[in-house]
Amino acid sequence: MRVTMMLADHAQVADGKLFISGGGWSSCGPGPTPCSVAVIFHVPWQNTNEKVQFGLRLIDEDGHPVIQPGPAGPQPVHVNGQFEAGRPPGMTPGSEIGVPMTFGSVLHLPPGRRYTWVLEVDGQTGDDWHLSFATRQSQPAPGPGSAPPGP
C-alpha cells in the first residue's frame, strides 16, 4: 500500500476530501504547536473490502515515545485504528481507492530537538511512512536597552 503523509497546522476530511491549512512544514515552535498529520492511504484494488489496521506514533530523536499531558495524565502520543475501503460498483480493476484521514493535537515539545511520526499498517512500516520535523531553538529574551526588531 502506498501512503502520502504531510504535516500541517490544521487538516480535516470532509466529503472524502482532505483540506489542509499551513501544510508542508518541517520545523515548528518552540512553544505549544498545533500539529496535524494528514494521511492518504492509497488502497490497491485487490485490498479493497478488507479491514486495515494502522497505528501512528510520535517518537523522539532517540526512538523513544513522546509523552504529552492528557486527560488521564501523561501519555505517549499515538493513535490506533482501522478502516475498510469499499470497492464501488463498476470500479476498474487495478484502480486505487484513496482513504484520507487526519490526526491532530497541540504539541508541547522542548526546543532544539527532532521528532518523527511513524505509521504502521497491518504491523508493517516503510521508509516513506516516516514524517520527521524539528523544533526551533529558543530565542533569548531581549535584554534591557535593546532595540525592538525592525520591520
> What pLDDT, in 10s, does the model give residues 33-60?
999 999 999 999 999 999 999 999 999 9
CA distances in angstroms from 21 to 41, 44, 67, 99, listed in the order given: 19, 28, 26, 19
The reply to whether omega before 111 is within 30° of 0 (cis) is no
Supply φ then ψ for residue 93, to 5 degrees.
Answer: -55, 140
What pLDDT is stored for residue 130 in this prediction?
96
Give the three cell numbers for residue 98: 484513496
Side chain identity at residue 87, one-letter code:
R
> What pLDDT, in 10s, does the model give residues 63-99?
999 999 988 999 999 999 999 999 888 889 999 999 9
CATH of domain 2-135: 2.60.40.2550
Nearest-angstrom CA–CA distance, 20 and 34: 13
> In the 3-class helix/strand/coil scheme, how is 72-109 assigned residue by residue?
CCCEECEEEEEEECCCCCCCCCCCEEEEEEEEEEEECC
Nearest-angstrom CA–CA distance, 138 and 84: 43
Is residue 146 scored above 80 in pLDDT?
A: no
Full-model pTM = 0.87
